[in-house]
Amino acid sequence: MSEETTSEAPEEVTPLSPVAQKNHENVERLAIILSENEGNASAETFNVVHDLVDNIYVRDGFLHKFVELDGTNRINLIKAANAYLVSVAPTYEENGIEKFKIGNYTSFLTALVYSHVGANAAEELPNEVIEPYINIVDKLLLSADAFETEWSLTKLMKTARRNNVPNNIFYESIKATSYNECIGER
């Protein structure tokens, strides 16, 4: 009696293009910088973080990874990203940080919170859980404007809020896009 075995060839993993690989590395780098921050970011480090999130592929890749996290880890990352902003925003001028960079980073933080809102809505959590985060999104959008953000992402989120687009749409659109596409792999 012989035992039949089937061996399937392992699934081939296509290597990323050099540009997408660099964007992936920067997504990981951004995650490390934010998670290791304890609310004491230097202007130099903030400029590095801004340059990372100013790259649409790094920002979108990070957002994609973010929406895959569970609620507790999303909240922890939002807190870390917020601590980062709070540590540099009050003294940005004295530290030579350009105003629009604070606005752009604020937009990035807004996208994190808005994605979290969408995840909560997709999980059908009650409005009592979602509403405080919506208020934070609206306040952050005003703050991003005050700091003269240049990002179309901010305009997109403002338009969605103004037109009462369901909260899960932003989250679902990020989740529906593959990570490789987010980081620029076509």
Structural domain boundaries in the chain = 18-182
Tell me if residue 33 falls in helix, strand or coil. Answer: helix
Specify the DSSP element, H or E, that contains 53. helix 43-54
pLDDT tens, 9-31?
A: 555 667 899 999 999 999 999 99
The answer, as to whether pTM is greater than 0.85, is yes
Provide the pLDDT confidence category of residue 35 given band limits of 50, 70 and 90.
confident
Can you give the length of the chain in residues? 186
Q: In sequence order, what DSSP letters do the residues of 96-143 get, joined into one string?
A: T--HHHHHHHHHHHHHHHHHHHHHHHHTT--HHHHHHHHHHHHHHHHH
Identify the pLDDT of residue 22.
Answer: 97
User: pLDDT tens across 45-86, in order?
Assistant: 899 999 999 999 999 999 999 999 999 999 999 999 998 888
Say if residues 88 and 46 touch (Cβ distance below 8 Å): yes
Hey, CA dihedral for 155, 161, 164, 168, is it positive or negative? positive
> What is the residue type of 176?
A
Whether residue 100 contacts residue 142, with contact meaning beta carbons closer than 8 Å, is answered with no
How far CA 158 is from CA of 5, 77, 109, 145, 174, in Å, comes to: 57, 22, 14, 10, 17
AA letter at 43? A
Q: For residue 159, is pLDDT > 50?
A: yes
Q: How does pLDDT run across 107-140, given as a tens digit for each residue?
A: 999 999 999 999 999 999 999 999 999 999 999 9
The Cα 66–Cα 170 span in angstroms is 13
Distance CA 94, CA 158 (A): 30
CB atoms within 10 A of CB 44: 11
Decide if pLDDT at 3 tops 70: no
Roughly how many angstroms between the first and final C-alpha of the chain, as a whole number? Answer: 50
So what's the pLDDT on residue 1?
40
Band (pLDDT 50/70/90 cuts) for residue 186 is confident
